Structure 1
Amino acid sequence: MTETGDLSTAGAQNGHSCCAPATSRAEAVDSHVSHPGADPAVNSESEPEFSFDFVTAGGTFDMGDPFGDGHPADGEGPRHRVNLTEFEIATTSVTNDDFARFVADTGFVTTAERLGTSAVFAMLLETNPGAEAHILGQAPGVPWWVEVSGANWAAPEGPGSTIDNRRDHPVVHISWDDAQAYCAWSGTRLPSEAEWELAARGGLKGRRYPWGNRLLTDGEWNCNIWQGEFPRTNTLDDGFIGTAPARHFAPNGLGLFNTVGNVWEWCADWFTRDYYQHSPQSDPQGPDIGDKRIMRGGSFLCHDSYCNRYRVAARSSNTPDSSASNIGFRAVRKAH
């Protein structure tokens, strides 16, 4: 394996590499991390500023897919009752502005920056033609994902691109390890998978989406996903080829924005297909060990023709050191 990594087709059969490419890094992944429910110490010398608010969530809900919509390999069933202790969750994904403050305060270097490469959706390179000279390769079987030298959170489409006009968009090209570092600095943590799903549902019971069961409302789009023929034609009916601002579209009943579509959001848990078959009813934290971490919510690339993971019950996963132009995160903290 090269130091710059290898775009892997592992999981392509069930759509994982289509949703967000898994990246196999040369460095070993440490499975002995802090418990997903632990709140790390604040490393900042001053109180961190957030572009988002926090809202309180918790209680009992039915977790999992009630419709049979999911990919069998994702393990969205069986549907089961879950009780969650109260917690606070951010109303938006962490934005470029938020992450920039973290980097300015700590000098943190992300996985993509350290290894010099990240995965970019090929069509986005049309907005930054100079980046084509920095393409290192394509993922076999999913050529819409290309590995671009110099692509990272501050240069999302590679050298020559910038976040200057996207300060209020979700930060992307973030590995699970990067998200953990931000949380440790800010006195927050990543949500457990169960916390994420309860909050994403926004109080609605047994629905596909945060707003109900129909994708459109009066002909209007409620989220940022792909429209048209993937991956050749995006009609941009929702207004975006890439990410949308973190507060775009109406919030769910809890006040959370873009819990489906826009960017994948890391959760704390390891992924296993059969976890729901034996997960505890109270405050489940995922398996004790694994090789991939849970991602939730789908992204701007989701489309029914190959990936309908923009539902609140949908699950996906990726290696903790993977980064791409559609992967970000959302923070939670203890209820005050």
Structure 2
Amino acid sequence: MLMMVAFDAAAGDIGPIAGNPLIEIPAGRFVFGRDDGPTNERPRRVLEGRPFAINRTEITNRQYGRFVQATGHRPSFYANHPLLGLDDRPVVGVSWRDADAFCRHYGLVLPSEQQYERAARGTRGAAFPWGEAAPDETRANSGSDACCSGDAHDGYPMTAPAQSFLGGASSEGILNLIGNVWEWTRDRYAPYDSEAAAESAVAFRVLRGGSWNSDPSHLTTTYRLAYDPEFRFSANGGFRCVRPVP
């Protein structure tokens, strides 16, 4: 299930996190939201995006462990788990504040929802990072057809190595933007079509992308999951970082 391919080195830079380069996303128009899905994904808009760079993969246990050693920050909840804690797997068991602290330590920030969608959907608003074809075992680490149980049909009963599923890469070569682990964004949850601050915006941050135990309805580039930012016991939630480009 682990494949190796080469991506254009000009598309990114080494960045501050060893083994996880930043991939540049150029400025330009992109599609945000949709009109044919859940209410909280509406309305569909075409926006003018600013440039940024995003980690090629989710942050791994190895990368998070280096941060813990350097700063004394608390380790992830599953750091010693026999599967979830493997060095090359995405770190899970981290709260929003843990993820935010990691990114800021390296001069980065968590992605916004708009940055996530631009990276995952390209410029034309694709349903999946690779296009419109439905996810399969070559493109994403996902769960059973019924929510929300993991299975090993794609080769992994839980998380997969961050460098796997290259068949599901985005057009810029970014991996696992859906499946494997849910990813924290820096945004508070609120309806797109409401100018008034929703009560939930005080309580929840947004996770994107689905995970190893997600059913097909959760594995899209537009699905939004409102989540308690203080909760750090999730075995299917991780993150990656971004850097604005001047």
TM-score (norm 1): 0.62
The count of corresponding residues between Structure 1 and Structure 2 is 227
Query: Structure 2 matches for 1:1-336, cutoff 5 A?
Result: 48-57=16-25, 58-66=27-35, 68-70=36-38, 72=39, 75-110=40-75, 152-156=77-81, 161=82, 166-201=86-121, 203=122, 205-216=124-135, 220-227=137-144, 230=147, 234=151, 236-250=152-166, 251-272=169-190, 274-278=191-195, 290-304=202-216, 308-323=217-232, 324-335=234-245
DSSP-derived class of the 1:227 partner: coil
Kindly state the Cα deviation for residue 85 of structure 1 after the two structures are TM-superposed: 1.3
Relative to structure 1, is the Cα distance of residues 61 and 48 closer, same or farther in structure 2, using a 3 angstrom cutoff?
closer
When the two chains are superposed, the root-mean-square deviation of aligned CA atoms in Å is 2.6
1:21-69 residue CA offsets vs partner (Å, 9 max, x unmatched): xxxxxxxxxxxxxxxxxxxxxxxxxx95422111111321111125x23
Instruction: Using the TM superposition, give the Cα deviation of residue 206 of structure 1 relative to its aligned residue in structure 2, in angstroms.
Output: 3.1
Contact 2:83 2:158 in 1 (8 A): no
Please state how far the C-alpha of 1:227 moved relative to its aligned partner: 3.1
Residues 231/216 of structure 1: CA separation in 2 closer, same or farther (3 Å cut) = closer
Give CA deviations for 1:188-221 in whole Å, capped at 9, x if unaligned. Answer: 10011101110111x252321111222146xx53
Q: How many percent identity over aligned positions?
A: 33
Counterpart residue type for residue 134 of structure 2: L
Unmatched tracts of structure 2, length 5 or more: 1-14
Indicate the structure with greater strand content.
1
Residue of structure 2 equivalent to 1:283: none
| Distance of 1:162 and 1:221 partners within structure 2 | 21
Match of 1:266, SS? strand
The residue type equivalent to 2:141 in the other structure is N
One-letter amino acid matched to 1:315: R
Which runs of no fewer than 5 residues in structure 1 stay unpaired? Answer: 1-46, 113-151, 280-285
Deviation string 1:291-313 (CA, Å, 9 cap, x unpaired) is: 10011001111114xxx121001
Q: Is the 8 A contact 1:76 1:315 kept in 2?
A: yes
- State how far apart, in whole Å, the 1-side matches of 2:147 and 2:183 are: 22
Within 2, Cα distance between the matches of 1:69 and 1:221?
Answer: 25
Q: TM-score, normalised by structure 2?
A: 0.83
Question: Larger C-alpha radius of gyration, 1 or 2?
Answer: 1
Q: Deviation per CA, 1:115-173, whole angstroms, max 9, x where unpaired? A: xxxxxxxxxxxxxxxxxxxxxxxxxxxxxxxxxxxxx13134xxxx4766x21111000
